[in-house]
Structure 1
Amino acid sequence: MLSNIAALIILALDIWAIINIVKSNAETGKKVLWVILVLLLPVIGLIIWALMGPRGNVKL
């Protein structure tokens, strides 16, 4: 049960990361590489993206 909840949280965070990657100002090639990284390594890719990845155009 707990592993299912953790998996859903990771999935939601990965989807959020991919949306932010696509909305970023990064070059298309870099966006593709970041999305592949997040898809292939859901947890580690998410952590690497959070530390070093492109951000979307979020206006506060």
Structure 2
Amino acid sequence: MAFIGLGVPEIILIGLVGVVPFALMLYCLVEITQSRFRDNTTKLLWALIVLFAPFLGSLIYLWIGRNQRIASRNF
């Protein structure tokens, strides 16, 4: 990476800025698709919010959206 002029701190920063939001978005999308909501419109709405605003949408889903899921009962 020396030919680009990037040092180790810059590479770590680029990795954090690029990888962390993507991983958070991917986690939220997987959780949304595997969870049950009251209706499919709510599920679709949360998926669109996370897709169109990846970092902020993921944080909002984790803060508000997780409470809207229907708890599954394991018997």
TM-score, with structure 1 as normaliser: 0.79
**RMSD of the alignment, in Å?**
2.0
Point out the structure with max Rg over C-alpha. Answer: 2
What percentage of residue pairs aligned between the two structures are identical? 26
Structure 1 or 2: more helix by fraction: 1
Residue correspondences, number: 58
AA matched with 2:25: D
Unmatched tracts of structure 1, length 5 or more: none
TM-score, with structure 2 as normaliser: 0.65
The aligned residue for residue 6 of structure 1 is 17
* Structure with higher RCO (Cα < 8 A, 6+ apart): 1
Unmatched tracts of structure 2, length 5 or more: 1-10
Please list the CA deviations of residues 5-37 of structure 1 after superposition, one character each: whole Å capped at 9, or x if unmatched: 321111011001000011111121111110110
